[in-house]
Amino acid sequence: MDLKFDKEHVWHPYTSLSNPPEVYPVVGAEGCEIILEDGTRLVDGISSWWCVIHGYNHPALNEAILNQTKSFSHVMFGGLTHEPAISLTKKLLEIVPQGLNKVFYSDSGSVSVEVAIKMAIQYWQAQGHPEKKQLITIRGGYHGDTIGAMSVCDPISGMHSLFKGVVKEQIFSERPKCKLGKEWDDKFIHDLEVKIKRHQQDLAALILEPIVQGAGGMWFYSPMYLKRAKELCEQYDILLIIDEVATGFGRTGKMFACEWAGITPDIMCVGKGLTGGYMSLAATITTEQVAYGISTFMHGPTFMANPLACAVATKSLELLTSMDWQEKVLSIENILRVGLAPLASNKAVREARVLGAIGVVEMKETIDVAAFQKMAVSRGVWLRPFGNIVYIMPAYVISEEQLQKIISVIATLLDLDFFKKSTVSFV
The separation between CA 423 and the C-alpha centre of its own chain, rounded to angstroms, equals 22
pLDDT bin (cut points 50, 70, 90) of residue 426 is: low
pTM of the model: 0.96
Query: Of 261, 166, 173, 163, whose CA–CA distance to 212 is shortest?
Result: 261
Q: CA–CA separation, 178 vs 124, rounded Å?
A: 32
* Claim to verify: residue 261 and residue 122 sit in the same structural domain: yes
Which of residues 322, 352, 381 is at a domain's end?
322
Residue 246 within any structural domain of the chain: yes
SS3 103: strand
What residue type is assigned to position 76 of the chain?
A: M
Mean of the per-residue pLDDT values for the chain? 95
Q: CA–CA separation, 137 vs 209, rounded Å?
A: 9
* Claim to verify: residue 141 and residue 113 sit in the same structural domain: yes
Residue 383 within any structural domain of the chain: yes
**Residue 112: which domain range?**
71-322
* Claim to verify: residue 53 and residue 100 sit in the same structural domain: no
14 among known catalytic residues: yes
Query: Domains in the chain: how many in total?
Result: 2
123 among known catalytic residues: no
Is the model's pLDDT at 305 over the cut of 90? yes
Residue 62 within any structural domain of the chain: no
Which of residues 322, 338, 354 is at a domain's end?
322
Residue 378 within any structural domain of the chain: yes
Catalytic residue among 272, 278, 368, 391: 272
Residue 305 within any structural domain of the chain: yes
Looking at residue 131, the DSSP 8-state letter turns out to be T
- For the chain, the 3-state helix, strand and coil shares in percent, each to the nearest 5, are 40, 20, 45
Residue 94 within any structural domain of the chain: yes
Query: Of 225, 226, 250, whose CA–CA distance to 240 is shortest?
Result: 226
* Claim to verify: residue 225 and residue 139 sit in the same structural domain: yes
272 among known catalytic residues: yes
Start-end of H helices in 165-260: 190-199, 223-235
More confident position, 419 or 145: 145
pLDDT bin (cut points 50, 70, 90) of residue 27 is: very high
* Claim to verify: residue 131 and residue 14 sit in the same structural domain: no
**76's torsion region: left (phi>0), alpha (psi -120 to 50) or beta?**
beta
CA dihedral 145, 427, 398, 31 (to 10 degrees): 70
CATH (domain of 168)? 3.40.640.10
Query: Of 65, 101, 103, 111, whose CA–CA distance to 81 is shortest?
Result: 103
The fraction of the chain above a pLDDT of 70, given in percent, is 96
Give the CA distances from residue 371 to residues 81, 284, 365, 379, 390, in Å, rounded to whole numbers and listed in that order: 49, 38, 14, 13, 13
Residue 422 within any structural domain of the chain: no
Which of residues 286, 301, 322 is at a domain's end?
322
pLDDT tens figures, 33-80 = 999 999 999 999 999 999 999 999 999 999 999 999 999 999 999 999
pLDDT of residue 421: 53
What residue type is assigned to position 412 of the chain?
A: T
CATH (domain of 49)? 3.90.1150.10
Catalytic residue among 56, 105, 123, 142: 142
**Distance between terminal CA atoms of the chain?**
25
328 among known catalytic residues: no
* Claim to verify: residue 264 and residue 303 sit in the same structural domain: yes
Residue 340 within any structural domain of the chain: yes
